[in-house]
Amino acid sequence: MVTRITGLASGMDIDDIVSKLMQTERAPLNKLTQKKQTLEWQRDSYREVNSKIKEFQDYMSNNKLTYPSTFQSKTVSSSNESVLTATGTASAANSSSTIEVASLATAATYKANNYTGYTQGDYNLAFNVVSPGETAAKTVNISVTSADTIDNVISKLNSSDLGVSAFKDKIWNGTEYVETIAFSSKATGAGGSIQAADSATADFMSGQLGFSLDTDNKITAYKEGTNAKVTINGFEMEKLSNNFTVNGVTYSIKNTTAATGPVTTSVSTDVDGIYNQIKEFVNKYNELVDSLNEKLKEEKYRDYAPLTSEQKEAMSDKEIELWEEKAKSGLLKNDTSISTGTNQMRTDFYSQVSADGKTYQLTEFGITTSGAYQMRGHLEINEDKLKAKIQEDPQSVAALFTSGSNSSAYSDKGIMKRIGDTLKSTVKSIEAKAGNSTMGTNDYSIGKNLNTISTDITKMQDRLTTIENRYYSKFSAMDSAIQKMNEQSSYLSQLLAQ
């Protein structure tokens, strides 16, 4: 290690002189450091692009446009929604129906008529439960301990598989309010029953809770459950629930038609719903392609290289921010991976789709590319034309978007599969350049370049340390020589003065 002197003998500012000499020597190091910074910014910019692409991929993976059934969506109108509402599945045919509701489905209710109080104890209860509309019984076991109060017992009844909502309250018996235990079936419809499976359970239900049981130990219903009675297009039927499905249409009945008369329902293609799905997809796609185009045409400021540490010291934070904003601009200008991806997506949209012996073109459906060059690839929708196509031939719209499989020929793949394939290849191409958070630096090209530059920087720093030490050695030697000369001169002056 060189001992550094600051020119005590010579009077020179050696630190300043060496610093200025080293500025020239450090120029190649600054170039390397700036190159490294530029590559890091470029890597990060690539990864930001991939993040946006992957965000769109996630959106597509959950998008309903990938399923043909989306284009078979139905909407159902009701002439009297206070009586009934309805929704349609893809299997529902476009048609009109007339519905009459004679009665609604009700749930069975059970009310104790002799509850006098509960004695805590250990009880192992067993029930045979038949649900409305079923014939087979299921066994339900409930364990009650001596620590359980009547409220605990009711809670256990509610949480069990008995299928009831139980409560304890004061109920009017025609003369007065008396404390009573009651419960109702959670399921509507006729035919359900709750039976005590053994004598101990029968004794508990009658003796402890005050319910009446018949000769088969079935709890006597206060009111039996009933089925809904409806007539659809002249066909009478009974349903266990007030919500039921017939021919792909799910009805929810709320009242009878005795006072209002029959209700008419109309099933039709859900044009607005399908259109909105396509519009949302196009908007999301436009957001992505616009952001990619912005990167491709972003201005590159060649006079704005990354700042060195010395340059930053002479600037304010705001000046640094503005400078680096321009230095980072244009790092992906005309990038081949991105431009290949955007060009291919345009091809994906505008190439014909073959399905079932027919071909489909996007423009036939009212979707076209913007005429503005700066918005290349940006899609625009003719709402009236697209809605008319959905109304007239939803199957063709489905074919355009969803045809084919992953192994199909390109011409047989619908838009969603084509775009999905292109996004995958674009992400892969960008990762080959910029990697991702899980890849090692030797697994992508920018990472390899960064490793090489980092090695070169280390070597350059070692070389500069050697050069700097050599400068100090020379100036130290010069300073020592001057000191000796000064000492000799002083000695001679003393001799001459004698």
What tokens does 410 get? 């390109």
Average per-residue pLDDT for the chain: 91
What tokens does 369 get? 């590319």
Query: Between residues 371 and 70, which one has the greater pLDDT?
Result: 70
pLDDT above 70 coverage of the chain, percent: 93
pLDDT band at 483 (very low <50, low <70, confident <90, very high): low
Report the distance separating Cα 29 and Cα 467, nearest Å.
13
pLDDT band at 1 (very low <50, low <70, confident <90, very high): very low
Please, what's the largest Cα pairwise distance for the chain? Answer: 148
Report the distance separating Cα 338 and Cα 360, nearest Å.
27
Q: Residues 385, 391, 396, 400: is their CA dihedral positive or negative?
A: positive
pLDDT for the residue numbered 21: 75
Report the distance separating Cα 351 and Cα 412, nearest Å.
10
Report the distance separating Cα 113 and Cα 171, nearest Å.
10
Report the distance separating Cα 241 and Cα 150, nearest Å.
32
Report the distance separating Cα 43 and Cα 53, nearest Å.
15
Within 10 Å of residue 24's Cβ, how many Cβ atoms?
8
What tokens does 75 get? 């909407």
Q: Which amino acid, residue 232?
A: I
Q: Which amino acid, residue 410?
A: Y
Report the distance separating Cα 337 and Cα 292, nearest Å.
11
Report the distance separating Cα 342 and Cα 53, nearest Å.
11
Report the distance separating Cα 295 and Cα 328, nearest Å.
11
- Least confident among 143-152, 253-262, 469-478: 469-478
Report the distance separating Cα 67 and Cα 315, nearest Å.
57
pLDDT band at 392 (very low <50, low <70, confident <90, very high): very high
* Kind and range of the H or E run holding 343: helix 336-350
What tokens does 325 get? 């904003």
Write out pLDDT tens, residues 317-331.
Answer: 999 999 999 999 999
pLDDT reading at 105 higher than 80: yes
In this structure, the chain runs to a length of 498
Write out pLDDT tens, residues 151-181.
Answer: 999 999 999 999 999 999 988 878 888 899 9
Write out pLDDT tens, residues 393-433.
Answer: 999 999 999 998 888 899 999 999 999 999 999 999 999 99
pLDDT band at 310 (very low <50, low <70, confident <90, very high): confident
Query: Between residues 31 and 497, which one has the greater pLDDT?
Result: 31
Residue 329 three-state SS: coil
Report the distance separating Cα 205 and Cα 221, nearest Å.
13
pLDDT reading at 482 higher than 80: no
Report the distance separating Cα 389 and Cα 189, nearest Å.
44
Tell me which residue of 281, 288, 298 sits closest to 426, measured CA to CA. Answer: 288
Residues contacting 212, CB < 8 A, separation 6+: 113, 114, 206, 219, 220
Region of 214 (left: φ > 0; alpha: ψ -120 to 50; beta: rest) is beta
pLDDT reading at 50 higher than 90: yes
Report the distance separating Cα 94 and Cα 265, nearest Å.
11
Report the distance separating Cα 461 and Cα 36, nearest Å.
15
Q: Residues 172, 174, 176, 181: is their CA dihedral positive or negative?
A: negative
Are residues 227 and 239 in contact, defined by beta-carbon separation less than 8 angstroms?
yes
Angle 415-434/445-496 helices, nearest 10 degrees? 20
What tokens does 292 get? 């990619």
What's the DSSP call for residue 307? P
pLDDT for the residue numbered 27: 84
Q: Residues 254, 260, 261, 267: is their CA dihedral positive or negative?
A: negative
pLDDT for the residue numbered 471: 77
pLDDT band at 24 (very low <50, low <70, confident <90, very high): confident
What tokens does 85 get? 């509402």
pLDDT for the residue numbered 12: 65
pLDDT for the residue numbered 30: 86
The whole-number average pLDDT for the span 287-296 is 95
Going from N- to C-terminal start, the domains of the chain cover 15-68+273-446, 74-105+228-269, 107-208
Q: In terms of C-beta density within 10 A (0-12 exposed, 13-18 middle, 19 or more buried), how is residue 325 classed?
A: exposed
- Least confident among 11-15, 149-153, 247-251: 11-15
pLDDT above 90 coverage of the chain, percent: 78
pLDDT reading at 40 higher than 50: yes
Report the distance separating Cα 251 and Cα 233, nearest Å.
14
* Kind and range of the H or E run holding 210: none
DSSP string, 101-170: EEE--BEEEEE-S---------EEEEEEEE-TT--S-EEEEEEE-TT--HHHHHHHHHHSTT-EEEEEEE
- What does the radius of gyration of the chain's CA atoms come to, in whole angstroms? 42
What tokens does 111 get? 């009310």
What tokens does 145 get? 């301990």
Query: Between residues 141 and 309, which one has the greater pLDDT?
Result: 141
pLDDT for the residue numbered 318: 96
pLDDT for the residue numbered 386: 98
pTM assigned to the model: 0.76
Q: Which fold has domain 107-208?
A: Immunoglobulin-like (2.60.40)
pLDDT reading at 15 higher than 70: yes
